[in-house]
Structure 1
Amino acid sequence: MPYDSDSNIATADALTLILQNQHALGAAIEEVTKWFSENGVENVAANAVTAMETLDANAKALTAAIMRLRRL
């Protein structure tokens, strides 16, 4: 695939927006998890923690891809 700076910038910008969405979703899930935990719904809270872990892992991969695109 030939090097295309404009495409890399557009892709990195789009991935940055997706990453920002992931952070927002993570914050929302964290708030809901806290409520579940405080209201005795521990099994749901545990599932929410698993979802946050997935968001965190994927955020790391997105960040790496963004950085790679921005270096090209």
Structure 2
Amino acid sequence: MQSEYSLSDVLERMYENQLALEAALMELTLHVEAHGHADVGNNVRGALETIGENSGHIKQGLARLSKLP
């Protein structure tokens, strides 16, 4: 049985936190943009793009880790 504090479990939870933060940032971005701060929205969208790009790599790494003995 896998420990709840195994490396793969901890990394999976960190990945889930990243997705949750990404969603929260997008909600805040939409709110900020709706109140006339497109420049701030653009800055945050740049950061969100990086998060999105990295999430694919993280997910692939987690899939590989889960296959290890």
TM-score computed with the length of structure 1 as normaliser: 0.81
1:18 maps to a residue whose letter is M
1:24 maps to a residue whose letter is A
Consecutive unaligned residues of structure 2, counting only runs of 5 or more, are none
4+ residue runs over 2 A deviation: none
Consecutive unaligned residues of structure 1, counting only runs of 5 or more, are 1-5
Structure with greater contact order relative to length (CA < 8 Å, sep ≥ 6): 1
Match runs of 1:33-44 below 5 Å? 33-44=29-40
TM-score computed with the length of structure 2 as normaliser: 0.84
How large is the RMSD of aligned CA atoms in angstroms? 1.6
Identity %: 31
